[in-house]
Amino acid sequence: MALAAEVPRGDPAAGRAAHDRHAQLRKPPNSLGDLESLGVALAASAGHSPPPIPLSPVVLVAAADHGVHARGVTPWPQTITARMLETICAGGATVNALARGVGARVRVLDVGVATPYTVPDRAPVAVRRAPVRAGTRDLSTGPALTVGEAASAMRAGAAETRAALDAGADLVVPGEMGIANTTAAAALIVARTGVPAVEATGHGTGIDEATWRAKVALVETAAARAPAEPLAALAEVGGLEHAAMAGAVLAAAARRVPVVLDGVSSLAAALVAVDLAPASRDHLFAGHRPHEPGARIVLERLGLPSLLDLELRLGEGTGGVLAVPLVQAAARVLHEVDELGELAPSSEP
């Protein structure tokens, strides 16, 4: 797909330049540990050292529902997706609180919310309505989406991301809201990695052991049907918000804009994006290490070190938003710290 062809690789020479610069700064070598690795990765992604300091972060919350909700894979009613969309637009969700804390803008994209909702014209956060269908079909009984529907949601996510970048955003956190989406995310992760469902399926918002076992069995069966082609696999078992987030990853990566990932759904989406465009890996950063087991499998597969480890299990983009100050700090060090100069230890006694 055209989106995937536009993603450039990171530039190793820019990464090396950042690495060398760290060694010249007014501090002992390697004293900033993982923050230095982060600065190197940001420089490689940007193709420039020092990399830009991302001062206009945006969290793009893709919202959609899931036909598999009917299988009892989550204790929450499907209507919560719409109610939480309203909450996010009103500024009262966790992602809003955390975004205010780091100065991130929130954008909401409806790619398939099944329940009607109301967002006042003057809401603090607007919603872009681009519904592909009123939630996916039940992934446990057949394809959740057609490939055309998955591609539409992916294009909507890419378009919304480009709109945010055109408006000045310089860092993207893909977030989501979709009751039952940890089931789709697990199925997608199993389909793309081949790990057993029992290792990749988590408890989501909180289910008992009997429900979890049923969720595992359902994920195993559905993932086994998924074709090898990434977009077709996403259509078979994924969700509309996963497709939109994959589009967001590709659109940001195409412009060398860092993408800071959050929970299991954003990681499942990133896995598809990297399968479609391997170069997009060079623009990905893991905001945190989620509690969900499937998320941890993706981090390993993509070789992404996580910035925070807080046992978060929420989604919405929260764990990505929390890591934004670390990304800014890593870039800022490369811009603002003095050089060692005459403080450099001399070889003379």
Ligand X SMILES: O=C(O)c1cccnc1
Where in the sequence numbering do the catalytic residues fall?
316
Q: How far is the CB of 193 from ligand RBZ (least distance, A)?
A: 19
Residues composing the chain:
349
Stretch that binds ligand X, among 37-45, 49-57, 99-107, 262-270 (CB under 6 A): 262-270
Span from 128-136, 232-240, 261-269, 281-289 in contact with ligand X (CB under 6 A): 261-269
Helices 318-336 and 12-24 meet at what angle, rounded to 10?
Answer: 60
**Residue 292: CB partners within 8 Å, gap ≥ 6?**
182, 185, 202, 204, 263, 264, 313
- What the block records as the tokens of 174 is 């893909």
Map the footprint of ligand RBZ across residues 77-96, applying CB under 6 A: 80, 84
Kindly tell me the burial class for residue 265, based on how many C-beta atoms sit within 10 Å of its own C-beta (0-12, 13-18, 19 or more): buried
* CB-based contact 304:325 (threshold 8 Å): no
Task: Give me Rg for the CA atoms of the chain.
Answer: 20
180 binds, among ligand RBZ, ligand X, none (CB under 5 to 8 A by kind): ligand RBZ
238 binds ligand RBZ (CB under 6 A): no
Residue 238 interacts with ligand X (CB under 6 A): yes or no: no
The smaller minimum CB distance to ligand X, of residues 311 and 348, is found at 311
Q: Of the two residues 140 and 182, which places its CB atom closer to ligand X in the complex?
A: 182
> 133 vs 288, which CB is nearer to ligand X?
288
Residues 272-311 that bind ligand X (CB under 6 A): 290, 292, 295
- The CB-nearest residue to ligand X is 263
Residues 24-63, one symbol each (x = binds ligand RBZ by CB under 6 A, - = not), give ----------------------------------------
Q: Do the beta carbons of residue 156 and residue 130 sit within 8 Å?
A: yes
**x/- site string to ligand RBZ, residues 150 to 189, per CB under 6 A?**
--------------------------xxxxxxxx------
What DSSP string runs through 188-239? Answer: HHHHHH---HHHH---TT---HHHHHHHHHHHHHHHHH--SSHHHHHHHH--
**Which one of the spans 17-25, 32-40, 48-56, 72-80 is the region binding ligand RBZ (CB under 6 A)?**
72-80
Query: Which x/- pattern over 187-226 shows residues binding ligand RBZ (rule: CB under 6 A)?
Result: -----------------xx---------------------
| Residue 51 contact partner, candidates ligand X, ligand RBZ, none, CB within 5 to 8 A by sort of partner | none
Regarding 315 and contact with ligand X (CB under 6 A), the answer is yes
Q: Which of 264, 270, 307, 330 binds ligand X (CB under 6 A)?
A: 264
Pull the structure tokens for residue 215: 């969720």
> Alpha helix (H) ranges present in the chain?
2-5, 12-24, 33-46, 79-90, 94-102, 147-166, 181-193, 197-200, 209-225, 230-237, 240-254, 264-276, 293-302, 318-336
- Beta-ladder partners of 177: 63
Classify residue 131 by its DSSP letter.
-
182 sits near ligand X (criterion: CB under 6 A):
yes
Following CA atoms 157, 160, 161, 163 in sequence, which dihedral angle do they give, to the nearest 10 degrees?
160
Q: Please, which residue, 84 or 89, has the CB nearer to ligand RBZ?
A: 84
Q: Pick from 231, 134, 135, 131: which is nearest to 180 by CA?
A: 135
| Shortest spacing between CB 290 and ligand X, in angstroms | 4
Closest approach of ligand RBZ to the CB of residue 332, in Å? 30
Phi/psi for 46 (5° steps) reads -70, -25
Q: Give the binding-site size for ligand X (rule: CB under 6 A).
A: 12
The footprint of ligand RBZ (CB under 6 A) covers 74, 76, 80, 84, 176-183, 204-205, 314-316
